[in-house]
Amino acid sequence: MTTVSAPPGATRLVLHEHRFFDSDPAVRRAASELYEGTRTLPLVCPHGHVDPALLAENAAFPEPASLLIIPDHYLFRMLHSRGVPLEALGVPTRDGTAVERDPRRIWQLFAEHYYLFRGTPSGAWLDHELSEVFGIEWQLSGATAQRIYDELDAKLRSPEFRPRALYERFDIEVLATTDAATDTLDHHRAIRDSDWSGRVLPTFRPDALFRIASPGWETERAELARLHGAAVHDYESFRAALVARRRYFRELGATATDHAVVAPTTGWLPTGGAQALFQRATRGDATPDDQRRFEAHMLMEMASMSVEDGLVMQLHAGALRNHDQALFERYGPDKGGDIPVATEFTRNLQPLLNAFGNDPRLTLVLFTLDESTYARELAPLAGHYPAVTLGPPWWFHDSLEGMRRYRERTTETAGIWNTAGFNDDTRAFCSIPARHDLARRLDANYLGGLVARHVVGMSEAREMARALAYELPRQTYKLAPAPATVGVTP
């Protein structure tokens, strides 16, 4: 591999072998030993947002700015907070007005502000990505920006850095995407029908179909009817179409559903209530309160369907989407304007858990952005209901300190076997090994502390570390080797 010579003022990019471990020697020794036992385990990725087209088409990645900066809201959110306009980073606008098109200028601007990410998970992930995935030898800065850009650009053009080659190099055992209920899953079918052995599974996400007060709901309903091959004109036909779509996803390997809500409100509507709200929506008269009640009812329906078909049910709660109205209007959704809110689970989930929480056929994985709920609500719920499993820290808290707080606040009440291990929940394909490495180091460090304090023995900690890194996500998401599928039709 060609070495990039150092420009003036450059500093070598060195990842310390004990990074993220405690400074206490006893904890560090135990953590290092535990990490070595999980470091080379295959990566199980049961929940994420990688575009399946990436692996279906296996085309070369775009140039570095388009791959690493423009699509990553973790990165441009931080720069926006420091006054860097999104158009200067090449983030496309809704109305097509001009933004920066020169990738080298975008990369240079980002590199000059890279210091902002010191001590953040984004900085840790990108340093790992640059060093371990791309073999970059120098820290990213304004001085090194163009040389690093050239080296990345050259590598991204080579066969060794195509998506499927990296999937295999990363030792990914299985990767689940997140797909709208109305997705045709053509890319998943293409992967399945190819001669490539990588395992890429869809995940059923019907959120858009439940948002009956949204301007786009009628379009979603029409697409659901088209794919279902029959009219979706009332609640009964709507429910039947959802059951059929879930079956289609399962036939293409899906093991889970995914649902994002602000508040995890659940509860059955009275007899005829769902039909009345559905008909109101078809007339364009549904209100936000109608939508809230309909979504609460549909979460009950999704749990009921999961009991029948076995799909794991994931619930992400507590994000107030598109908080920055000006940013949303100019750039659209998912552009860094999503902010956590206080979230209540105990009362909101009681109807669902009273109905299905003791049913061994349901697995409900809960995620939150409200850390205050870990010890007060989530760990007790998971420590009681057989159906409840805790998902790992999500979004703002999938970081060294966030994962440490999660382990400290949940393990005493729920243990680790009521948690789902780790999932990377990312769109950034090349960051997947960095995220898993950080999680494995954090869990090793947490368990190393238990060993150093003689809470558990080293042999027990080894079993726990392996479970968190590999066995729990496989078990939670039912990711045993896939059976052959035949005759799959939309």
| Mean pLDDT value of segment 371-385 | 98
Q: What local confidence, expressed as pLDDT, does residue 486 receive?
A: 38
Domain count, the chain: 2
pLDDT at 489 over 90: no
Which residue type occupies 466? Answer: R
Helix orientation angle between 458-466 and 432-452, rounded to the nearest 10 degrees: 160
Whether 309 and 412 map to the same domain: the answer is yes
417 shares a domain with 300: yes
The radius of gyration computed from the CA coordinates of the chain, to the nearest angstrom, equals 23
Span 143-173, pLDDT tens digits: 999 999 999 999 999 999 999 999 999 999 9
Measured distance CA(200)–CA(192) in Å, rounded = 8
Same domain, 149 and 203: no
What CA–CA distance (Å, rounded) separates 472 from 188?
25
Per-residue pLDDT tens over the stretch 278-288: 999 999 999 99
How far apart CA 131 and CA 360 sit, in angstroms, is 44
pTM over 0.85: yes
Q: From CA 298, how far away is CA 179, in angstroms rounded?
A: 18
Q: Which helix (H) or strand (E) holds 458?
A: helix 458-466
Q: Is the same domain home to 306 and 329?
A: yes
Q: Are residues 211 and 342 in the same domain?
A: yes
Closest residue by Cα to residue 161 from 426, 429, 424, 427: 429
Which 3-state string (H, E, C) describes 292-358? HHHHHHHHHHHHHHHHHHCCEEEEEECEECCCCHHHHHHHCCCCCCCEECCCCCCCCCHHHHHHHCC
250 with 395, same domain?
Answer: yes
- Please give the residue range of the domain that contains residue 386: 175-429
d(CA 383, CA 59): 45
Confidence of residue 9 (pLDDT cuts 50, 70, 90): confident
- Percent of the chain residues past pLDDT 70, beyond the cut: 97
> CA-CA distance, 148 to 145, in Å (whole number)?
5
Residues 79 and 215 in one domain: no
